Amino acid sequence: MRKKLEKLNGQRRRFQGRFVRFGTKHGWRGRAERTVLLADLVLVDDPENILTDHIWFTCGKTFDRLHLHPGDLVVFDARVAPYEKGYQGRRAEELGLDWYEVDYHLERPTKAIKGELVDLPDPTDDTVYVTSTIVAQAAARAGRTDVYSPAELVRDGNGTVIGCRGLQIPN
């Protein structure tokens, strides 16, 4: 079970994931529906805390219009919700596969954008830039070695970020 997503149940938040590939699933009446696989899902405001290693979505207009390629960072809003994972029903019982459990996923994704470089200054000798992890990851994909993000975040007793122990060039 996705315990970290369970803690956000019912909340609509801003997430980031890395596009891996498209897939297909059987939809209503057996029609093939295109799906999207995202990896390393994090909250945009807590990018060092991976919520789940992967998550699948049906590829609707929200993702289709992005023209995704493997490795692209995707930022989007979605709601955390429970679902029943496993096999149920008469056919599952006949095959001895009748089991399920409650797990958590994201639903109703909206406002999706690619994590692209926007308004980042050109490289300058003896200068580094400290940015959000999303921007630093996009910069690293573009071959930049002068863009860093905070590493090892330090939090107070309420969980609020109050500093960091270093800087990193994200992969």
The more confidently predicted of residues 136 and 156 is: 156
Please name which of 121, 111, 119 lies closest in space to residue 146, comparing C-alpha atoms.
121
Judge: domain 3-114, CATH 2.40.50.
Answer: yes
pLDDT on residue 118: 62
Instruction: List every span in the chain annotated with CATH 2.40.50.
Output: 3-114
Please name which of 60, 86, 63, 89 lies closest in space to residue 74, comparing C-alpha atoms.
63
Look up the pTM and report it: 0.66
pLDDT digits (tens, 9 = 90+) for 51-91: 999 999 998 888 988 888 888 889 999 999 998 887 767 77
Do residues 38 and 21 lie in contact, with contact meaning Cβ atoms separated by under 8 Å?
Answer: no
Q: What percent of the chain has pLDDT over 90?
A: 43
